[in-house]
């Protein structure tokens, strides 16, 4: 179907001026091939490649506790295993809750301005964490509060993903969202890889503070470096967002318009599926370092050596999931992801220590790597499904009603798919909290079987509504 797009009546010089970095763009028509080739592609790519590192730093701040807790007791804090799991889980509560707010706030104020603001405020928890880690007398309640504030970094995902979707045409949304989300998700691996390295030496110099003594390894460490390192990078990316990104008027929408998604059945169904994919990805990323430490450190396996690779794989396969969905359809890839995750967790369960047996690290670890890979595929495919579902729904309703009705339907579908993308990511972010919390509250194997059962429900939902022949909303 040919989609009519509005044309601008402004003079050519005014239109050219409006596409410069930092400007608010009124005329945005990515489905218009001529517009896309002459202006749209260049502007969209610039916004995408500023958005990615800014989002990556948000994930760094959100996940910094997953590696921080591994060293706390080694330098004298003395917390229980359950307390450490809770410190890992707490950022998930604020991350998910603030994602709900960020979903609707970004379009209200302009995504360029909001990206800059939401990035610069993350300096506060990083500074607070860095100073708190230098005193082993810091009370548990204060560390828990810092963890909660760090969780705000995870909220940036909701506004970022909703924003980037507006810049690209339908045929490229899967790849663009996959790149933004996938490379943004790399922040999990970046912090889990780099933070353990920078804490081993005074790489930030005297201004960062003195060392703590790791009695277990009889060496000095600088845990605060794992927080202070990111402060200058946050400043740089906030400035880059302010001066290089754009606000799109087509993306602007008050909450009164966005709240329509709560009446859309497919908002809730796609949220259910995204809880299964991204909820698994972020929850496993948060919990894996402690799972390795608690179950296999006695066999010589260090969490800091292995934990970062799983999220790294999941982040890369997210882009692959978006790309593959553009080729064969998102629902098929989503189904594949749930089958793969379930099979991988079965391997993990039988590799864990049980009945007095030590367990087998490599099947456990490879099983988790495979689970991360399939979760990444599902993350990419579900976010490709959402705009397709809402676009097809609204365009079908406008069919035969003329160009103006079709253009209005297209705009409405973009607004709703952006809001659904943000909202579903907010609810799925609670996986960051619930998965470590479940590991803290029950046997790990019991929790994993619950996850497998949940994947079965996701598989049924995806097949019935989106993948089977005659499905209500094929995507």
Angle at which helices 361-398 and 309-328 cross, to 10°: 30
The CATH number of whichever domain residue 92 belongs to comes to 1.20.1250.20
Tokens 């828990």 found at: 144
Into how many domains does the chain fold? 1
State the pLDDT at residue 409: 87
Would 7 be classed as within a structural domain?
no
Q: What pTM value is reported for the model?
A: 0.80
Give the whole-angstrom CA distance, residue 45 versus residue 47: 5
Rounded (to 5) percent helix, strand, coil in the chain: 80, 5, 20
114 CB-contact burial (10 Å; exposed 0-12 / middle 13-18 / buried 19+): buried
Give the whole-angstrom CA distance, residue 266 versus residue 91: 28
Would 73 be classed as within a structural domain?
yes
Would 475 be classed as within a structural domain?
no
State the pLDDT at residue 4: 44
Give the whole-angstrom CA distance, residue 360 versus residue 350: 9
Q: What is the pLDDT along the chain (475 residues), one digit of tens a residue?
A: 444 444 443 444 444 447 899 888 888 888 889 999 998 999 999 999 999 999 999 999 999 998 899 889 988 898 998 899 889 889 989 999 999 888 888 777 888 999 999 999 999 999 999 999 999 999 999 999 999 999 999 999 888 887 887 898 878 877 888 788 888 888 989 998 998 888 888 777 777 788 888 887 888 888 999 999 999 999 999 999 999 999 888 777 778 888 899 999 999 999 999 999 999 998 999 899 889 999 998 898 988 899 999 999 998 898 889 889 988 999 999 999 999 999 999 999 999 998 878 899 999 999 999 999 999 999 999 988 998 999 999 988 888 888 888 888 888 888 888 889 889 988 998 998 899 889 888 999 999 999 999 999 999 999 999 999 999 999 9
Would 85 be classed as within a structural domain?
yes
What lies within 8 Å, CB to CB, of 400 at 6+ separation is: none
Give the whole-angstrom CA distance, residue 89 versus residue 430: 9
Would 63 be classed as within a structural domain?
yes
Which residues constitute the domain of residue 361? 28-467
- Whole-number Cα distances in Å, 86 to 97, 113, 294, 345, 459: 17, 33, 15, 22, 30
State the pLDDT at residue 162: 76
User: How, if at all, do strands 24-25 and 247-248 pair?
Assistant: parallel
Would 351 be classed as within a structural domain?
yes
State the pLDDT at residue 374: 98
Structure tokens belonging to residue 140: 């548990």
How many other CB atoms are found less than 10 A from the CB of residue 290?
A: 22
State the pLDDT at residue 1: 41
State the pLDDT at residue 277: 97
State the pLDDT at residue 16: 47
Q: Are 132 and 74 in contact (CB under 8 A)?
A: no
Give the whole-angstrom CA distance, residue 150 versus residue 94: 8
Sign (positive/negative) of CA torsion 137, 141, 143, 145? negative
Would 324 be classed as within a structural domain?
yes
21 CB-contact burial (10 Å; exposed 0-12 / middle 13-18 / buried 19+): middle
State the pLDDT at residue 9: 38
305 CB-contact burial (10 Å; exposed 0-12 / middle 13-18 / buried 19+): exposed
Would 14 be classed as within a structural domain?
no
């Amino acid at each position: 179907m040919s989609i009519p797009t509005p044309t601008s009546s402004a003079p050519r010089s005014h239109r050219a001026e409006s596409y410069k970095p930092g400007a608010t763009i009124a005329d945005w028509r990515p489905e218009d091939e001529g517009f896309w080739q002459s202006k749209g592609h260049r502007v969209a790519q610039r916004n995408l490649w500023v958005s990615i590192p800014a989002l990556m730093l948000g994930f760094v701040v959100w996940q910094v506790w997953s590696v921080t807790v591994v060293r706390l007791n080694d330098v004298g804090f003395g917390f229980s295993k359950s307390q450490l799991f809770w410190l890992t889980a707490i950022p998930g509560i604020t991350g998910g809750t603030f994602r709900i707010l960020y979903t609707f706030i970004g379009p209200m104020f302009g995504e360029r301005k909001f990206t800059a603001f939401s990035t610069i405020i993350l300096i506060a928890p990083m500074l607070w964490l860095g100073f708190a880690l230098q005193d082993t007398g810091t009370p548990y309640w204060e560390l828990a509060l810092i963890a909660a504030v760090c969780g705000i970094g995870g909220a940036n995902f909701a506004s970022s993903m909703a924003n980037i979707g507006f810049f690209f045409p339908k045929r490229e949304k899967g790849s663009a969202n996959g790149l933004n989300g996938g490379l943004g998700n790399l922040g999990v691996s970046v912090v889990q890889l780099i933070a353990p390295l920078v804490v081993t030496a005074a790489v930030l110099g005297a201004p960062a503070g003195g060392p703590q003594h790791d009695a277990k390894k009889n060496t000095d460490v600088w845990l605060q470096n794992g927080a202070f390192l990111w402060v200058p990078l946050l400043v740089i990316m906030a400035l880059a967002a302010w001066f290089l990104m754009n606000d799109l008027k087509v993306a602007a929408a008050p909450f009164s318009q966005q709240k329509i998604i709560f009446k859309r059945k497919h908002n809730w169904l796609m949220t259910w599926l995204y809880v299964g994919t991204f909820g698994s990805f972020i929850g496993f990323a948060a919990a894996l370092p402690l799972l390795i430490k608690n179950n296999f450190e006695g066999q010589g396996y260090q969490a800091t050596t292995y934990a970062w690779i799983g999220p790294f794989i999941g982040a890369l396969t997210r882009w692959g999931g978006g790309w593959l969905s553009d080729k064969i359809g998102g629902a098929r890839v989503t189904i594949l992801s749930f089958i793969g995750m379930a099979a991988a967790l079965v391997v993990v369960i039988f590799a864990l220590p049980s009945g007095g047996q030590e367990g087998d690290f490599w099947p456990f670890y490879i099983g988790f790597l495979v689970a991360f890979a399939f979760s990444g595929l599902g993350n990419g495919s579900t976010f490709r499904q959402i705009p397709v579902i809402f676009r097809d729904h609204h365009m079908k309703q406008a069919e035969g009603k003329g160009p103006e009705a079709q253009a209005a339907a297209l705009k409405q579908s973009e607004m709703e798919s952006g809001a659904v993308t943000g909202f579903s990511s907010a609810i799925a972010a609670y996986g960051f909290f619930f998965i470590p919390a479940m590991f803290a509250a029950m046997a790990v194997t019991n929790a994993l079987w619950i996850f497998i059962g949940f994947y079965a429900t996701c598989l049924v939902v995806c097949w019935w509504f989106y993948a089977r022949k005659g499905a209500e909303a094929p995507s």
